[in-house]
Amino acid sequence: ANLPVPTIAAIDGAALGGGLELALACDIRVAASSAKMGLVETKLAIIPGAGGTQRLPRTIGVSLAKELIFSARIVNGEEAKSIGLISHVVEQNESGDAAYRRALALAREFLPQGPVAMRVAKLAINQGMEVDLVTGLAIEEACYAQTIPTKDRIEGLLAFKEKRPPRYKGE
């Protein structure tokens, strides 16, 4: 969750218990419609212990998270998408890697962006979600200020002006 780059979980099979908790620590989750997901620990007389009780409610809402954890219910990709647990659901392919392929496509969309901007955008979002709006806006302003003196910002403006792709260096 605290990696300074975007993270994408690709769920092509089962993500139960700790597997789903790992996926919940990622910024974006993609799953095949046939994937199985759930925090099933209560079936074992324990609770999710790697962030599930905190991240699942923040992702899908408190009441629904309680229902899923209390029941140890397993959902497929379609249901996971409908409750907001995942961002994208794809039909599984013959290779069994449809979610992985979709995750790679998303990553390719992220790659051309300015590395410094990506890092501080993630920081602003993550920190801002933990505080009230006024404080969150102050965090955003501080993160925005970090992008202003960068060489990448100058390169982005120049590339826009010259109608060419930018060549960012993370500086």
Residue 41 annotated to the active site: yes
- Is 103 in contact with 9 (CB distance < 8 Å)? yes
Asked if residues 65 and 56 have their Cβ atoms less than 8 Å apart, the reply is yes
Q: What is the DSSP string of 61-125?
A: -HHHHHHHHHHT--EEHHHHHHTTS-SEEE---TTS-HHHHHHHHHHHHHTTS-HHHHHHHHHHH
Question: Is 111 within 8 Å of 66 (Cβ atoms)?
Answer: no
User: Given its phi and psi angles, is residue 72 left (phi above 0), alpha (psi -120 to 50 degrees) or beta?
Assistant: left
Please indicate whether residue 94 is annotated as part of the active site. no
Residues annotated as catalytic are 21, 41
